[in-house]
Amino acid sequence: MTPNIARNTKRTPNAIDFWRGFALVNIFLSHIPMNAFERLTHRHYSLSDAELFVFLAGWSLRLSVKGGTTPARVVVTQMSQRALRLYKTQIGVTLAALGILALAGRLLGDPRLLQWGNAGVLIDEPAEGIFGLLTLTQQMRYFDIMPLYIVLSLAAPLLILTNRRSPWLLLGFSATIWVIAGLFRLNFPTWPTEGHWFFNPLAWQFCFVLGFVLAGAEAPTRFAQDVAARCFWPAVAIAVAGGVAVALHWAPDANLVDFSPTSLLFSKSYVGPARAAHFLAMLVACRGIYPLIESRARIVARVGSIMGRNALPVFAAATLLSLLGRIEKYVFGKAPSLDLCVVLIGILILVLTAWVTEWRRLNQKRIAQRDCSAPSPLASPA
């Protein structure tokens, strides 16, 4: 059987889809600072946040690749198509965000909105800004994780083929790049805005590769399962300690990027060792939660799973909805009742986006199956 990138066909609720949906809701809420409900996101009680989404992306990629004998040419073609799909989404969402900011600035009579999140260079220096947008070197704040996925998709053929030779080799290669990138502060530059990618692909690929390898059934997965079984309570202690440190503001700012030991340990751009260790501890400590959710809150499991199955359109919608939420906070300030409306309407739109996407896919599949099963008129007797 040749591997194929699975489409979002209908399947029963499962842990991977559910946690991807959970991560999408967290992204939507955490991208609206000062919203009353943003404090409920797990980034306020954990040293890690986006690591879960990237890890599950790697896991999902492994599950969608069936078999291990597909020619390298086919793998490269499939991953290139995936990267192109992500690229078009990134460009479309960024342009839509610029349109929203321009419209809001015009209606509110406040040109400062056009300077939000590195958007100013696209307005003030359109030639350089558009070139940077097209080459992914100019990234708006809160719109900067999709370029990471594009790079990971382009690198996916190398990951898949290396994993076929040896999962341990892939893990060792990935870990080495992660360590070197952190020690020597290696990152992709941004232009025309001076700086570096916030989600450094050289570091974040480690989370992606971890998910990809552990989704298999080879020796690394069996080893990880044995370690997880033996280290459950230490993992719980690490998860709780990290959560308390973040909740009480004892942990340093993860957005700082300098050459201090603190930055090396906690940096978000470079997935510092403290963040990586806490994320792994959270995985071990929380791996048994989903069966409880599925048995006691089936509707939550179903809704989360349908969002996770249709992650790309839901992510695009969440990104734009969070921008509207930030504009609402900018205009109205502290207003808990409006915060509640923004959250409820936003989550409803995300669920509808996932449902409509899945309905369209299933409908297209039924039409294709009907067309394939219909007898050809040329085969009928005269």
* 180 band by pLDDT with thresholds 50, 70 and 90: very high
Place of tokens 């409900």: 37
**pLDDT at 10 exceeding the cut of 90:** no
**pLDDT at 215 exceeding the cut of 50:** yes
Task: Map residue 163 onto helix, strand or coil.
Answer: helix
Distance CA 86, CA 277 (A): 29
For the beta carbon of residue 135, count every other beta carbon within 10 angstroms. Answer: 10
Write the pLDDT tens digit of every residue in 316-344: 999 999 999 999 999 998 888 999 999 99
**pLDDT at 182 exceeding the cut of 60:** yes
Average pLDDT value for the chain? 88
Higher pLDDT, 182 or 381: 182
Look up the pTM and report it: 0.90
Residue 34: closest CA among 257, 258, 342: 342
Distance CA 277, CA 275 (A): 6
Contacts of residue 244, defined as CB under 8 A and 6 or more positions apart, other chains included, come to 250
Distance CA 346, CA 103 (A): 20
Write the pLDDT tens digit of every residue in 217-261: 889 999 999 999 999 999 999 999 988 888 887 877 776 656 566
- 58 conformational bin, left if phi > 0, alpha if psi -120 to 50, beta if neither: alpha
Contact, 57 vs 149, CB < 8 A?
A: yes
Distance CA 356, CA 50 (A): 26
Contact, 202 vs 181, CB < 8 A?
A: yes
> Which value, in Å, is the radius of gyration of the alpha carbons in the chain?
22
Cα torsion at 215, 221, 225, 231 (round to 10°)?
-110
Write the pLDDT tens digit of every residue in 278-320: 999 999 998 889 999 999 999 999 999 999 999 999 999 999 9
Task: Map residue 37 onto helix, strand or coil.
Answer: coil
Token pair, residue 111, equals: 């040109």
- Give pLDDT, residue 118: 87
Higher pLDDT, 48 or 18: 18
190 strand-pairing partners? 195
Contacts of residue 218, defined as CB under 8 A and 6 or more positions apart, other chains included, come to 167
Distance CA 102, CA 73 (A): 43
- Give pLDDT, residue 379: 47
- Give pLDDT, residue 149: 96
Angle subtended at Cα 173 by Cα 222 and Cα 185, rounded to the nearest 5 degrees: 125
Distance CA 62, CA 289 (A): 22
- Give pLDDT, residue 66: 66
- Give pLDDT, residue 246: 86
- Give pLDDT, residue 68: 65
Write the pLDDT tens digit of every residue in 38-88: 888 888 888 888 899 999 999 999 988 866 667 888 888 999 999 999 999
Contact, 132 vs 138, CB < 8 A?
A: yes
Distance CA 57, CA 306 (A): 15
